[in-house]
Chain A
Amino acid sequence: MADSQYILEVNNLCQHFSSGRGKKQLTVKAVDDVTFGVRPAETFGLVGESGCGKTTTGRTIIRLYNPTGGEVLFNGRDIAGKMNPDLRKYLTDNIAMIFQDPIESLNPKMTIEEIIGEGLKVRGMKDQAEIRKMVVDMLRKVGLVEEHATRYPHEFSGGQRQRIGIARAIIVKPKMIIADEPVSALDVSVQAQVINLLNDLKEEMGLTILFIAHNLSVVKYFSDRIGVMYFGHLVEVANGEDLYKNPLHPYTKALLSAIPEPNPITERQRVRIDYVPARDHDYSNEQPSMVEVEPEHFVYCSPSELAKYREQIAANA
């Protein structure tokens, strides 16, 4: 995937956590050998069940964790290497993050103005009036009013707080946003509001979004391309439409079969497919790897599985 068409390239990224030492050492491979690319101005959705490493992937890219292996290229520059002030600046100027929990992600002891204006201050802006003006502009952009700037987070509802979180992320004009389950803590009507706001901002500012979520319908609505993660591995990457119509990896099929249908009649006919890695894969002879099965459609599979998938596609066509 070493194409320069990608703004963000993640190559063989590994994030292992270990505790103890010697014989007692325990290693958890939270993210293992993950490879994907994100194109400029697209939304890349990352889905998977709880604990599969989606959030860790996002946090590793923005360097909240130090990756244990692999490389991450942003506009061709490696951002997974050794941290130094220059790289820190490059990273924070280009990538911002939106967090999952709207209550947890705003400091309760700071006013909204301080929270949103912080990124500007870090970048050396000193003029209070100018910061104030930019903060107010940003508040308007996310649908809040000027008067909210002097308030504390506890006075806002979940949706409002999430919009404040978005304002904080975009005020520094990043090229890319990592949205870590930005709507999963909100109720459905507010989810739509926040998603649409993100969509508008994306078009207005030409943002690239790495959208991490476990809600498949939200991801389907919002993402251009989708990556499916399972147990630290990326198992399938495809265009949104393609993935939903033509899932290849058994885990993707299982995941898609879990989406409830709005129509009660078809919902009753829906069959859950379960995914048991030991039954669905035989990796005793062959090692699986990420393969482009058809254009724009990557699956983590072994050569024999690849042949099977190709047959499947041919049969469908």
Chain B
Amino acid sequence: MMIDRNNLPEELLNLPDSAFESLHQEDIKDEKFQTKPVGFFKDAMIRLSHSKVSMLSVALIVLIILLAIIVPNITGYTYVEQNIELKNLPPKIPVLCDLGIADGGRVLEKRKVEALSDTSRYPEGCIIEIVKEYELKGVPMCDVKVDAYVYQGAPDDQYHWFGTDYLGRDLMTRLFQGTRISLLIAFFSVITNCIIGVVYGAIAGYYGGKVDLIMTHVAEILDGMPYTVVAILFMILFGAGMLSIVLALTITGWIGTSRMIRAQFYRYKGREYVLAARTLGVPDATLIFRHILPNCVGPLITRTMIAIPGAIFSESFLAFLGLGIKAPNPSIGVLLSNGQDVLLQYPYQVLFPAILISVLMIAFNLFSNGLRDALDPTKRGEE
């Protein structure tokens, strides 16, 4: 039916209030939810467990940590035990050695063919094969592959899976002992950085104004110090060792965390729920740690996880420069540094630490990326 808009009946134009009826229901009754309550962390963990890459990297990290805990105790060698007779032995692994891989073999070049039968120089059974025969100035010479273990007089049942170093120490024991120390240094420095950074950043961010100005400038001055120099100074002051390295990694390492936390505090402190808590009389400390900080936990965890491989790498870098921990303690960096001296002759000495540190770095980086995605799904795939 068409309505003539300009010619409505009078009673429609002036409807009294009593003609209207309120549709509002007096009682509000809400249903209870059918789903289970899912908290923030539970949600994040569910997302994390769905990511294959993250789970793989978690498995790798756990594996390496377990190896670092177990291996030094079961190899039968200690990381300080020296045997100069058995120095620089190549890797020899039971079972695999029968297949010609990791058989403890080493190629000796330019040997006189006639001397090969001299058992005082070449103990019985040490020669595996003659690789190449040739004449040099009329003398028959050869390159011969020998079992270095027999050649250097090791007992039959002695195996060094990753070989030995220049003092005859078992490299596998040293590598995983070194992993222990590297991981410890990394965890200690990262946790210290995290605590200092959070407290410093929280105070600067929460109070703002002049407090923030002064604190930010102090951090900036510290940030300007070259940390290699600081590391050397700590070495002089405290001697080489874990303490100096952790201190060197801590002196400037917390600044990034504190900046991040400060920014997060600026972002969250004006939120209405923080204001609401303030109107209820919630004290500052509770506001900082209960209301604002939990919202920074995502970026904080991610940042901390990323910092761990960074710290391992920094430690290795310092060790590589000769600023590592005190001998005879190994760390991944110390092993790399030692192995690099004999890289051309005995490449396996640098190979295994290099593989381990690479796997460790990749695993931690992938894990922290996965964790970041899990904690903040909106940032998925960002670098």
B24 contacts chain A at the CB level, 8 A cutoff: yes
Contact residues of A between 22 and 47, Cβ < 8 Å to B:
none
Q: Which of A96, A148, A192 has a CB less than 8 Å from the CB of B279?
A: A96
Q: Which of A104, A119, A144 has a CB less than 8 Å from the CB of B280?
A: A119
SS class of chain B's interface: helix, strand, loop or mixed? Answer: loop
- CB-based contact B279/A64 at 8 Å: yes
Closest chain A residue to B38, Cβ basis: A152
- CB-based contact A165/B276 at 8 Å: yes
Distance, CA A155 to CA B33, complexed state (A): 9
Given A105-B276, A107-B291, A147-B33, decide whether A89 and B281 contact each other with a Cβ distance below 8 A. Answer: yes
- CB-based contact B33/A92 at 8 Å: no
Hey, what's the 0/1 contact readout for B244-277 against A, CB within 8 Å counting as 1?
Answer: 0000000000000000000000000001111111
Given A143-B28, A148-B32, decide whether A99 and B280 contact each other with a Cβ distance below 8 A. Answer: no
- CB-based contact A106/B273 at 8 Å: yes
With a cutoff of 8 Å between Cβ atoms, the chain A residues found around residue B272 in the complex are 99-101, 104-105
B27 contacts chain A at the CB level, 8 A cutoff: yes
With a cutoff of 8 Å between Cβ atoms, the chain B residues found around residue A263 in the complex are 13, 15
- CB-based contact B271/A104 at 8 Å: yes
Given A108-B295, A119-B280, A155-B33, decide whether A266 and B13 contact each other with a Cβ distance below 8 A. Answer: yes
- CB-based contact A265/B13 at 8 Å: yes
Q: Which of A89, A108, A145 has a CB less than 8 Å from the CB of B30?
A: A145
- CB-based contact B282/A122 at 8 Å: yes
With a cutoff of 8 Å between Cβ atoms, the chain A residues found around residue B273 in the complex are 104-107, 115
Contact residues of B between 329 and 353, Cβ < 8 Å to A:
none
Contact residues of B between 221 and 261, Cβ < 8 Å to A:
none
B327 contacts chain A at the CB level, 8 A cutoff: no
A118 contacts chain B at the CB level, 8 A cutoff: yes
CB B209 to nearest CB in A, in angstroms, measures 12
- CB-based contact B24/A193 at 8 Å: yes
B39 contacts chain A at the CB level, 8 A cutoff: yes
Distance, CA A144 to CA B274, complexed state (A): 23
- CB-based contact B275/A145 at 8 Å: no
A168 contacts chain B at the CB level, 8 A cutoff: yes
Q: Which of A99, A142, A145 has a CB less than 8 Å from the CB of B276?
A: A99
With a cutoff of 8 Å between Cβ atoms, the chain A residues found around residue B280 in the complex are 92, 96, 118-119, 122, 168, 172
A151 contacts chain B at the CB level, 8 A cutoff: yes
- CB-based contact A150/B27 at 8 Å: no
CB A186 to nearest CB in B, in angstroms, measures 13
A160 contacts chain B at the CB level, 8 A cutoff: yes
With a cutoff of 8 Å between Cβ atoms, the chain B residues found around residue A105 in the complex are 272-273, 275-276
B278 contacts chain A at the CB level, 8 A cutoff: yes
Contact residues of B between 21 and 38, Cβ < 8 Å to A:
24, 26-33, 35, 37-38
- CB-based contact A109/B40 at 8 Å: yes
Q: Which of B5, B276, B283, B295 has a CB less than 8 Å from the CB of A265?
A: B5
Distance, CA A101 to CA B39, complexed state (A): 22
Distance, CA A142 to CA B27, complexed state (A): 10
With a cutoff of 8 Å between Cβ atoms, the chain A residues found around residue B24 in the complex are 192-193, 196
With a cutoff of 8 Å between Cβ atoms, the chain B residues found around residue A196 in the complex are 24, 26
Closest chain B residue to A159, Cβ basis: B28
Hey, what's the 0/1 contact readout for A73-104 against B, CB within 8 Å counting as 1?
Answer: 00000000000000011011101110111001
Closest chain A residue to B27, Cβ basis: A143
CB B340 to nearest CB in A, in angstroms, measures 48
- CB-based contact A147/B40 at 8 Å: no
How many residues from A make CB contacts under 8 Å with B? 50
Given A99-B275, A104-B271, A197-B28, decide whether A151 and B281 contact each other with a Cβ distance below 8 A. Answer: no
- CB-based contact B277/A118 at 8 Å: yes
Hey, what's the 0/1 contact readout for A102-146 against B, CB within 8 Å counting as 1?
Answer: 001111111100010011001100000000000000000011110
Distance, CA A192 to CA B25, complexed state (A): 10
B294 contacts chain A at the CB level, 8 A cutoff: yes
Distance, CA A192 to CA B38, complexed state (A): 31
> In the complex, which of the residues B276, B290, B294 has the most CB atoms of chain A within 10 Å of its own CB atom?
B276
Q: Which of A91, A95, A144, A150 has a CB less than 8 Å from the CB of B37?
A: A150
With a cutoff of 8 Å between Cβ atoms, the chain B residues found around residue A151 in the complex are 33, 37
A238 contacts chain B at the CB level, 8 A cutoff: no
Closest chain A residue to B22, Cβ basis: A192
With a cutoff of 8 Å between Cβ atoms, the chain B residues found around residue A96 in the complex are 279-280
B8 contacts chain A at the CB level, 8 A cutoff: yes
A62 contacts chain B at the CB level, 8 A cutoff: yes
Distance, CA A108 to CA B276, complexed state (A): 13
Distance, CA A111 to CA B37, complexed state (A): 10
> In the complex, which of the residues B24, B272, B283, B286 has the most CB atoms of chain A within 10 Å of its own CB atom?
B272
Distance, CA A228 to CA B364, complexed state (A): 60
CB A254 to nearest CB in B, in angstroms, measures 26
Contact residues of A between 143 and 199, Cβ < 8 Å to B:
143-145, 147-148, 150-152, 155, 160, 163, 165, 168, 172, 192-193, 196-197
- CB-based contact B295/A109 at 8 Å: yes
With a cutoff of 8 Å between Cβ atoms, the chain B residues found around residue A89 in the complex are 281
With a cutoff of 8 Å between Cβ atoms, the chain B residues found around residue A91 in the complex are 281
Closest chain B residue to A95, Cβ basis: B279
Distance, CA A123 to CA B281, complexed state (A): 9
Distance, CA A177 to CA B33, complexed state (A): 30
- CB-based contact B279/A265 at 8 Å: no
With a cutoff of 8 Å between Cβ atoms, the chain A residues found around residue B279 in the complex are 62, 64, 92, 95-97
Closest chain B residue to A99, Cβ basis: B272
With a cutoff of 8 Å between Cβ atoms, the chain A residues found around residue B286 in the complex are 122
With a cutoff of 8 Å between Cβ atoms, the chain B residues found around residue A100 in the complex are 272
Distance, CA A263 to CA B275, complexed state (A): 41
Distance, CA A142 to CA B283, complexed state (A): 27
With a cutoff of 8 Å between Cβ atoms, the chain B residues found around residue A143 in the complex are 27-30
CB B300 to nearest CB in A, in angstroms, measures 13
8 contacts between A and B (CB under 8 A): A99-B275, A105-B276, A107-B277, A109-B294, A110-B291, A148-B33, A152-B39, A265-B13
Pick the 8 closest A-B CB pairs, nearest first: A143-B28, A92-B281, A105-B272, A147-B32, A109-B294, A104-B272, A107-B273, A119-B280
Extra contacts, 16 of them, besides A96-B280, A118-B280, A143-B30 (Cβ < 8 A), are A64-B279, A91-B281, A92-B280, A95-B279, A101-B272, A106-B273, A107-B277, A109-B294, A122-B280, A122-B281, A122-B283, A148-B30, A148-B33, A151-B37, A163-B28, A168-B280
